[in-house]
Amino acid sequence: MRKATMHYVLDIIEGLILLMLVVSGFILWFALPEGSESGKIILFDRHTWVEAHRWLAVALLVFFSTHVLTHWTWLIYMTKRFFTRSNKG
């Protein structure tokens, strides 16, 4: 797989995980807040949403770390340039 294709696939997965985190986060915040354990179901029960939210957070951490690592050289190059060329582009 080409490097650019691999980054594209990884970024799409990362974006989807973030989207699912946001959706599950808002469901937990507004639809299934603490105290709504007793039988309320929004597709799944509250316990399952909390578990999903936790594991999505772990997955995002893994993909985000990979993202940073695979762009490490670029990140260092840009940071050096930013601080040495009074950031004129």
Instruction: Give me the half-sphere count of Cα atoms (radius 13 Å) on the Cβ side of residue 67.
Output: 14
Region near ligand HEM per CB under 6 A, out of 1-9, 18-26, 35-43, 66-74: 18-26
Instruction: Give me the half-sphere count of Cα atoms (radius 13 Å) on the Cβ side of residue 17.
Output: 17
- Closer to ligand HEM by CB, 11 or 78: give it: 11
Residue 46: both structure tokens together: 């509250």
Determine if 47 is a binding residue for ligand HEM (CB under 6 A).
Answer: no
Rounded (5°) CA angle 71-62-29: 120
Determine if 13 is a binding residue for ligand HEM (CB under 6 A).
Answer: no
Determine if 62 is a binding residue for ligand HEM (CB under 6 A).
Answer: no
Smallest distance, ligand HEM to C-beta of residue 1, A: 27
End-to-end CA distance of the chain: 32
Confirm if 20 and 56 have CB atoms less than 8 A apart: yes
Determine if 22 is a binding residue for ligand HEM (CB under 6 A).
Answer: yes
Q: Binding residues for ligand HEM, per CB under 6 A? A: 21-22, 25-26, 28-29, 34, 50, 53-54, 57, 60
